Structure 1
């Protein structure tokens, strides 16, 4: 009878933790920052279809780094749990702490079981309250640990460098434009120097308590992000942007960005009308078609 292969529990857990950390370190960093009117979530994500930041419920947002298929399954499970709890009880019973505990149990069970590999993900569950003191940011790691973060939190690849930059430049209660500028600068800060991340490569969302709708989650389109950031120079390894959102640059101003309203979405640069005769933009009234 052969002797079965033996690995100590300590070594097994260490190997599983190293495996999960290596997978998470390959992803780009994600920052959650509290500002005057809510919680800001920013990450570098060139994909326009695969989101790393999403809505969970009325006042809740979900953000993750790591393997997309794994954290997408967790996001869907969280949405279903929130909908079921809100329908069976009351919408006010759906809280960030409750969903964070559910995610912690799931991740902890997967990590400690020997039948499958651990999830290579880290998660933020953010909740916006009626006041700034009620805002919550929960960070969940691959082994199911939960941490209640205050002010700002970072996860992903170079999280230590980004967190160090935020600790020096973060201002509690800052307006959205200032918080966004600091967060984007932190994501572009590296040990070798600073780089300018193209606006199109930024995924930005907020939980804004000042919104009149019950749903406080909103995505910021690239045009509006450019307005907040202003001119930042030419991004590295990228072509110059056609406009930086400054007045007179041709960008369409966006004073509202409601994802629930399909007519309230900015699609980018809109070229001015041209005079068919001269090819120049009209200076007065818009051209009128001749009568039939």
Structure 2
């Protein structure tokens, strides 16, 4: 009679953690940081598949790792946010609630399934000032960290974080913040440890613009991105828009929230799911 293989629960957890970490480390990195005008999200990405997306009015999603796995998580987050916003009020949709949901989902997958998700995600919610910005980093095993001001994920995240830690300034303008993010991402991965210069075609960039009412997510690409990487200012009208136009506002929708204060000057429009 063949003997059944046995591994202690501690060994199983260690093996799953090592498996997930190796998968995440093989991918390209992403950086999220606060700046004077909002929250900047930058990912090294040479494909048309997006690592950065809008979740709701003032909330964005960034991820590294396996695309099919974090895309499933993104879609689930959009559905949850839309359900809460439609059932209660748009201001009741918060980054903290989404982060809590993701920690429970990833924790259950890590503990109860044979293969853990090889993903690391960030939920970013822009506030009225840099001090009120919220950055939540959720790991493959469901553990979560509340990052103050900046964070790096995937690849050689620790080395990238060291660059950000030395020079990050919440009062920087958008060109300066983007230059720092691109430099930090390019500080690793070069031949013989040399830094790289990343071009616009190698980057996926978006911002949560704190000065906008309603949907604050704006994707930056093409000429605007090239100009910003060259340390040139770009008019707000040329930065880019959201991924899809919002549908018309519902007249019967309540404008007061029983669970949160109204921190915006005007009621935002209804959201559409990001692609």
Instruction: Give 1:80's aligned residue.
Output: 79
Q: Which runs of 5+ in 2 are unaligned?
A: 246-275
Q: Show the 5 A alignment for 1:1-292.
A: 2-48=2-48, 50-113=49-112, 115-190=113-188, 192-212=193-213, 214-230=214-230, 255-259=238-242
Q: Tell whether the 8 Å contact from 2:224 to 2:239 is kept in structure 1 after alignment.
A: no
Write the deviation string for residues 127-162 of structure 1: whole angstroms up to 9, x where unpaired.
011222211000000000010001110010011111
Please report how far the alpha carbon of residue 193 of structure 1 lies from its aligned counterpart in structure 2 after TM superposition.
1.7
CA contact (8 A) 2:85 2:92 kept: yes
Cα offset for 1:47?
1.2
Contact 1:224 1:254 (8 Å CA) reproduced? no
User: Taking CA–CA contacts closer than 8 Å with sequence separation of 6 or more, which of the two structures ends up with the larger relative contact order?
Assistant: 2
- With over 3 angstroms needed to count, the CA separation of the structure-2 counterparts of 1:83 and 1:246, relative to structure 1, is closer
User: What is the TM-score with the length of structure 1 in the denominator?
Assistant: 0.78
Q: Displacement, 1:256?
A: 4.2
Aligned partners of 2:155 and 2:27: how far apart in 1?
A: 5
How much has 1:192 moved relative to structure 2?
1.4
Q: Distance in 2 between matches of 1:131 and 1:165?
A: 23
* Rounded Cα–Cα distance in structure 2 between residues aligned with 1:189 and 1:261: 34
Going by fraction, where is helix more abundant, 1 or 2?
2
- Bigger Rg, which one: 1
- Would the aligned equivalents of 1:224 and 1:253 in 2 still touch at CA under 8 Å? no
Counterpart CA distance in 2 for 1:176 and 1:21 is 32
Computed over aligned residues only, the root mean square deviation of the Cα atoms, in angstroms, reads: 2.1
Q: Could you list the runs of 5+ residues in structure 1 that have no partner in the other structure?
A: 232-244, 263-292
Deviation at 1:261, TM superposition (A): 7.8
How many residue pairs match? The answer is 242
1:227 CA displacement: 1.1
Give the 3 Å change call, closer, same or farther, for CA 253–6 of structure 1 in structure 2.
Answer: closer
Three-state SS of the structure 1 residue aligned to 2:238 is coil
CA distance in 2, matches of 1:208, 1:169: 21
CA distance change for structure 1 residues 94 and 70 in 2, over 3 Å: closer, same or farther? same
How many angstroms apart in 2 are the aligned matches of 1:261 and 1:142?
30
